[in-house]
């Protein structure tokens, strides 16, 4: 096999800006500030267990909400005509054309105590609510920013389902609900698993959302790592250890999702 010289720039780029930083993180995690080998950075990880639990709990909750909201949208989108699909795709992708920070700031103006939501409730003579600087606000921010990453994988799977299978099911006497439950839902599981991965992984490591919508009151793993590198607690060694533990947990999660997805594809005969 002849070497592909055109891949050399890409391999060099990946080695310099992907592999090297990861190696540096491992080195920092296994050493002290003076450069001596140690495992204490990992042994003290129990101190941050509540932060780990809160991060994965909120990421899981945001992922579930994205499934509940995203699946019906993807299903209806797949049933529309090509022209309508293009319009809806533009509406779904439109927020992603804006800066992530600006989108989150917009939700601050909506959810704050004197924001648009409470102004609307006051106008309707309804009691106001306090959402900003709470876990609810953080989950709302996660869902808003990551929902398109749930819709698109599910849509891409549903739209590829052979229409002949659906027609055959109807010809055999199955109603719309039975067709969805026994045919469309099982066949769309690989798309759901892809969406879960694409939502859960960034959600569990989010920190801008927590800082703006959580107001420092909701402390997650992203905030903890940033504090170790840039904050007052400055300890890159501990921050690197936390990053590695989180990365390993996420890798295990992705492997499990992929294994489960492969099993589902074989089960439905894909």
CB atoms within 10 A of CB 136: 18
Indicate the average pLDDT of the chain: 88
Supply angle C-alpha 230, 145, 110, rounded to 5.
90
> What digits encode the pLDDT tens for the residues 148-161?
999 999 999 999 98
Q: pLDDT of 205-256, one tens digit each?
A: 888 899 899 988 888 998 999 888 887 778 899 999 999 998 898 888 888 8
Inform me whether the pLDDT recorded for 263 exceeds 60.
no
d(CA 210, CA 227): 13
Domains present along the chain, CATH in parentheses: 48-268 (1.10.3720.10)
Residue 142 contacts residue 206 (beta carbons within 8 Å): yes
- pLDDT attached to residue 200: 93
What's the first-to-final CA gap in the chain, in angstroms?
32
Q: What DSSP state is assigned to residue 165?
A: H
C-alpha dihedral (94, 98, 101, 105), degrees to nearest 10: -70
* Residue 270 pLDDT > 50: no
Tell me how crowded residue 44 is: count the other CB atoms within 10 A of its CB.
11
> Does the pLDDT value for residue 1 go beyond 80?
no
- Collect all residues with Cβ–Cβ distance below 8 Å to 56 and sequence separation of at least 6: 204, 249
Residue 98: CB partners within 8 Å, gap ≥ 6? none
The contacts found for 257-261 with CB under 8 angstroms, 24 or more apart, are 257/193, 257/196, 257/197, 258/193, 260/193, 261/189, 261/190, 261/193, 261/194
Q: Which of 248, 70, 79, 90 is nearest to 143 (CA)?
A: 70
The DSSP secondary-structure symbol of 184 reads I
Q: What pTM was estimated for this model as a whole?
A: 0.87
The DSSP secondary-structure symbol of 151 reads: H
């Amino acid at each position: 096999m002849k070497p592909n010289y055109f891949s050399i720039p890409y391999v060099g780029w990946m080695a310099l800006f992907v592999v090297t930083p990861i190696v540096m993180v491992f080195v920092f995690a296994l050493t002290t500030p003076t450069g001596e080998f140690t495992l204490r950075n990992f042994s003290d990880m129990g101190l941050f267990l509540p932060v780990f639990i809160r991060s994965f709990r909120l990421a899981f909750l945001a992922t579930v909400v994205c499934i509940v909201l995203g699946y019906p949208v993807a299903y209806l989108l797949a049933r529309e005509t090509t022209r309508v699909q293009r319009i809806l795709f533009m509406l779904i992708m439109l927020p992603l054309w804006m800066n992530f920070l600006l989108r989150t700031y917009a939700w601050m103006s909506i959810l704050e105590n004197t924001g648009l939501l409470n102004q609307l409730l006051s106008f309707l003579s309804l009691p106001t609510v306090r959402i900003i600087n709470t876990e609810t606000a953080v989950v709302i921010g996660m869902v808003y920013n990551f929902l398109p990453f749930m819709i698109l994988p599910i849509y891409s799977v549903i739209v590829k389902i052979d229409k002949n299978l659906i027609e055959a099911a109807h010809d055999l006497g199955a109603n719309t609900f039975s067709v969805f439950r026994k045919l469309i839902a099982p066949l769309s599981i690989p798309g759901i698993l892809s969406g879960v991965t694409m939502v859960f992984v960034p959600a569990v490591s989010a920190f801008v959302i927590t800082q703006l919508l959580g107001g420092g009151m909701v402390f997650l793993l992203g905030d903890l790592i940033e504090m170790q590198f840039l904050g007052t607690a400055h300890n890159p060694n501990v921050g690197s250890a936390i990053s590695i533990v989180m990365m390993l947990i996420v890798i295990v999660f992705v492997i499990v999702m992929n294994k489960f997805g492969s099993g589902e594809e074989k089960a439905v005969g894909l």
